[in-house]
A and B are shown apart, each in its own frame.
Chain A
Amino acid sequence: MLQAVQASGPASSSKSRRGGRSGMTMPLIAPSVVILLIWSIVPLVMTLWFSFRHYNLVDPTQTGFAGFDNYVYLLTDPDFWASLINTLILVGGVLLVTVCAGTLLAVLYDTEFFGRSIARLLVIAPFFVMPTVSALIWKNLMLHPIYGVLSALFRDVGLSPIDWFSRAPLLTIVGIVSWEWLPFAILILLTAVQSLDHEQREAARMDGAGPVASFFYITLPHLRRAIGVVIMIETIFLLTIFAEIDVTTAGGPGVATTNLAFLIYARALLQFDVGGGSAGGVIAIILANIVAFFLVRSIARNLEV
């Protein structure tokens, strides 16, 4: 057995990998590629088609070809631009909080202390809570201006409670979503910190590097790849945040918390304007592809194929 492995050698193995056998691998990979192609193209084509039509679910008189009307209507709508900026703030804000806090907490939960494994379980718990439920807990039990826990705490120390969803709506949503995603960042970064060579850190300490210096010059460079993964996975999910907004503010007050996903939803399903909603969908897809292009380029460098 062992001799057979050695006999096959690197040269012949790479030949069998690339050579004539590629035909035999097609049936294995084709199903996934084909269904993903259908999944990404059929709805896209239909969305594109609707976006050039007058199509309103409650107004059957609106039919026919619309040209670029739906797009012009959308692009000249200040709500659209507001939702675009909200989307960026939401994604950027949550990434900033989770990556910074996640890195520091990963280092904290890597150091030994009493009951660390239980503390870790408590910290990662929010990751398993469904977004609808987290939104409901925060909206009602925590932040409710009269009955919420935070309001009670505010009153106890003599401050007047704040109605978070009307005073700082977008910031509050960023906070809730950060609470949901911080455990994910901690989990990945903690695993990466654990793989760090402890002898290397010990050597740095002997050479007189303080904890701050060793964090910036040893830990942080080591975490680069893991931070890249956190940013990529989170961005994929944060771009399409929906449940948290739907449950807490329904996009309001005004359009203060409307992101692009919620704007399209409101157009297509609340105002029944399929044409306008589809135009929004097309724009969202184009934007997602721009983001995907840059993200994918940065992971492509980390990807060994």
Chain B
Amino acid sequence: MRHTLGGKIGLAVLGWGIAVVMFFPIFWMVLTGFKSELQAVNPSLFFHPTLSSYADVQSRANYFAFALNSVVISVGGTLLALLFAIPAAYVMAFFPTHRTRGTLLWMLSTKMLPPVGVLVPIYLLMRSTGLLDTRTGLIIIYMLMNLPIVVWMLFTFFKEVPRDILEAGRMDGAGRMDELRHVLLPLSLPGVASTGLLSLILCWNEAFWSLNLTSSRAAPLTAFIASFSSPEGLFFGKLSAASTLAVAPILIFGWLSQRQLVRGLTFGAVK
């Protein structure tokens, strides 16, 4: 579309204005993390930067232990979900039966059950199997939590792969698993990657199961940040430093992978 110079400047101002407003809370969080507690309660752009809040946070809770738990649980849950979902999505995309559509929709509907409705039974089951407050326990929960969405996204990606290519491989005598591993996966690797990315982000940010099913050993960053919330809510500096530490890894990761991620997010809505 053609625009006058004035129109162009107006668009840039509007686009940037909204971007700045949307990003401001995050910017302010990072900024406040570098303030001393005394400066933090004074909403001003000008201050003497200090690392004292970060030092306080680290001395109170070992950030790296929480971060390691977050990484292990998110990656573990995502890989496990992909392991279960890839064969299932493959079958649904290439060998559909009259039940396929129903199965896919049913899987999605399990995602709508409020986790809080089944918290007590899950808690009791985890306790009796010794999985409470373990990374394994959360990995299993996260895998189950994301499986429907992962299956669905992979399904839409696999459907884009031309059937002819797979069938050509079959003519050459490739078995089902060979076909999946050597033909389909390489072809749809970008789709699998963006599915994995979304699952990673959802696991990293999940705050219901992680808060209720872990206490110390397996606690991820959501628990780390929760420990800085209520009783000391007014220590803005420490709160901001801890928040920045919890968000920074996934935010940078998300920014770097946004192009890839967007492909997956559309869930086949864009043709």
The stretch among B24-32, B47-55, B56-64, B185-193 that forms the contact with chain A is: B24-32
Q: Which of B1, B18, B91, B92 contacts A201 (CB 8 A)?
A: B1
Q: How many A-B residue pairs have CB under 8 A?
A: 328
Among B100, B117, B239: residue with most chain A CB under 10 A:
B117
B15 within 8 A of A: yes
Interchain CB contact under 8 A, B269 and A192: yes
Whole-angstrom distance between the alpha carbons of A21 and B269 in the complex? 31
Name the residue on B nearest A242 (C-beta): B208
B157 within 8 A of A: no
Which residues in B have their C-beta under 8 angstroms from that of A24? 176
Interchain CB contact under 8 A, A40 and B19: no
Interface positions, chain A 269-303, Cβ under 8 Å from B, are 269, 274, 277-278, 280-282, 284-285, 288-289, 291-293, 295-296, 299-300, 302-303
A305 within 8 A of B: yes
Known: A128-B251, A288-B113. A22 touches B266 (CB 8 A): no
Secondary structure dominating the interface of A: helix
Secondary structure dominating the interface of B: helix
Which residues in B have their C-beta under 8 angstroms from that of A302? 269
Interchain CB contact under 8 A, A130 and B204: yes
Interface positions, chain A 195-246, Cβ under 8 Å from B, are 195, 201-202, 205, 211, 225-226, 228-229, 233, 235-236, 239-240, 242-243
Q: Which of B8, B14, B96, B105 contacts A296 (CB 8 A)?
A: B105
Whole-angstrom distance between the alpha carbons of A40 and B144 in the complex? 10
Known: A134-B25, A240-B115. A25 touches B221 (CB 8 A): no
Name the residue on A nearest B84 (C-beta): A32
Interchain CB contact under 8 A, B233 and A130: no
B267 to chain A, nearest CB (A): 5
Interchain CB contact under 8 A, A125 and B26: yes
New A-B pairs, 6, CB < 8 Å, besides A285-B118, A292-B108: A113-B15, A121-B258, A124-B258, A133-B243, A137-B28, A288-B117
What are 24 A-B contacts with C-beta separation under 8 Å? A4-B168, A8-B167, A18-B97, A33-B107, A36-B147, A40-B110, A47-B120, A119-B19, A123-B19, A127-B254, A128-B205, A129-B247, A130-B221, A133-B225, A136-B243, A141-B28, A188-B265, A243-B211, A247-B226, A281-B119, A285-B113, A288-B114, A292-B109, A303-B104
